[in-house]
Amino acid sequence: MPQATPAKSHDSAAVISFPAVSRKKVAGAFDGGRLTSDGGVLLLAQAERAMGVCRQLAACIADPRDPSRVTHKLDDILRARILAIACGYEDANDLDALRDDPGFRLALGKLPDSGAGLASQPTMSRWENAPTTRQLARMMVAMVRIYCASYPEPPKVVTLDIDDTCDVVHGYQQLSFWNGHHGERCFLPIQVYDTATGRPVAMLLRTGKTPSGAEAAEHIRRLIRHIRRHWPQTHITIRGDGHYGRPEVMAFCEAHGIDYVFGLPTNAALRANPEIVAAADACAVKRAEKQRVVLRSYAEIRYGAKSWKCERRVVARIEASTLGMDIRYFVTSLAEGSAEHIYDSLYCARGQAENLIKRHKSQLSSDRTSCRSANANQMRLILHTAAYWLMWRIQQAVPKAAAIANAEFATLRLRLLKVAARVIETATRIRVAFASACPDANTFRTVAAALRTAPT
């Protein structure tokens, strides 16, 4: 017979009164027993096991504990933290309440009631502060390895978008810096995405000032070196805004066979270029003749700044409107393709990377970098990126015909993870009884089947 779900008599079981229904009193209490409000955490656990994220990250950190006294393995500690982040519990404090949640216990391979609970908040915080700079570097390499392994075979071409984002600090923390453009004391972490597929590639915490050309080139050099270990033949294109259109970055890309499309800050020489001036005047006249509100045209030139060692292809997007003239410049190594194609089809597509950054920050709280030390904040950025990977894997498993096939992470969490369930343990099995009225039950079943690993 199934074990009865025990009622609890502590303070949280105090009766809560609600308005009467059909003359019957309605009362509630937090005494339901072996219930979880995050039944979908089991889907996340399946995705994590398939990808091996926590195992790879834990292998990068030295564990000085006495093995005979260890209650929680390091990969389980990281797993609990990452699963909680994906379920919307971004604070380590939440683990004190979740450590006995039957759904989370099952996700970590523990029985609902037997044995020690999950690691507590102090344990989580200690391990967030434990990794050294060298170990964090190994963890970042592991994240690149996870990205490459997410493809069943090396792709022929891939486009990587690099950008930085304002991460407002919570005090005078290590690496915090006043940024006049954002008007905040902040970090400016660099984030790299495979935007076409939504995959995260690399996340690097750094001080709150714009990276120099030498710094940006060094970060890209390390990233490309690690990717080349897995994909020696893949053709890589890098896109970025004007922060990354620096001579050091372009020289590195050209020397290593990497194409690029970067924004280019305007200057007096570009504004005075006769070809661009002529194209802009023609665009303004044509707009006036056709009485259009706005008209766009393009021009391209060979241009070499004083700090450049050679001339490069520069594309100008010219837009004449009733409000005046707006010209944006881009530099690229691509020899083929029209100026219109370079802008509309290639450069503008990098705007999706900004949406991915917003998703990472607003839906997975990757900007919760409130630790004092820079290493601890980099560790948090890695953990939140690992949670991103699990949510991305869930997203890929959703059937294309489903209503939530293209849903954001927050919607997937609400529809697939925040599913109520009762956990029933018998002598021979554990049964998870999900809510009968779950509107996405069919999608849940399909995702669970897609994530099910082969028996070992």
Q: Are 302 and 315 in contact (CB under 8 A)?
A: no
Sheet with 324-332, edge to edge strand ranges? 199-204, 190-194, 157-164, 235-240, 259-264, 324-332, 312-321, 294-303
Q: Give the C-alpha distances (Å, rounded to integers) separating 261 from 36, 64, 301.
A: 48, 46, 15
Which value, to the nearest 10 degrees, does the dihedral of the CA atoms of residues 261, 264, 269, 275 take?
Answer: 40
Nearest alpha-carbon partner for 328 in 238, 285, 244, 265:
265
Q: Name the one residue in this structure whose structure tokens are 């999950």.
A: 118
Q: Are 94 and 52 in contact (CB under 8 A)?
A: no
pLDDT per position as a tens digit, 338-380? 999 999 999 999 999 999 999 999 999 999 999 999 999 999 9
What local confidence, expressed as pLDDT, does residue 455 receive?
A: 42
pLDDT per position as a tens digit, 172-194? 899 999 999 899 999 999 999 99
Q: Please tell me whether residue 239 adopts helix, strand or coil conformation.
A: strand
Q: Which long-range contacts (CB under 8 A, 24 or more apart) does 13-22 make?
A: none
Number of residues written out for the chain: 456
Q: Are 173 and 374 in contact (CB under 8 A)?
A: yes
Query: Where are the strands (E) in 75-224, listed by range?
Result: 157-164, 167-168, 177-179, 184-187, 190-194, 199-204
Provide the pairing of β-strand 157-164 with 167-168.
Answer: unpaired
Q: Give the C-alpha distances (Å, rounded to integers) separating 176 from 153, 208, 357.
A: 40, 6, 20
- Tokens representing residue 351 in the block: 């705007």
Task: Please list the ranges in the chain whose pLDDT falls under 50.
Answer: 1-5, 7-10, 454-456
What local confidence, expressed as pLDDT, does residue 453 receive?
A: 60
| pTM (two decimals) | 0.91
What local confidence, expressed as pLDDT, does residue 1 receive?
A: 40
What local confidence, expressed as pLDDT, does residue 2 receive?
A: 46
What local confidence, expressed as pLDDT, does residue 13 receive?
A: 67
DSSP 416-448: IIS--EEEEE-SS-EEEEE-TT-TTHHHHHHHH
- Tokens representing residue 15 in the block: 């009766």
Nearest alpha-carbon partner for 357 in 333, 377, 331, 385:
385
Q: Please tell me whether residue 324 adopts helix, strand or coil conformation.
A: strand
CA distance 169 to 368: 9
Q: How many CB atoms lie within 10 A of CB 324?
A: 8
CA distance 58 to 53: 9
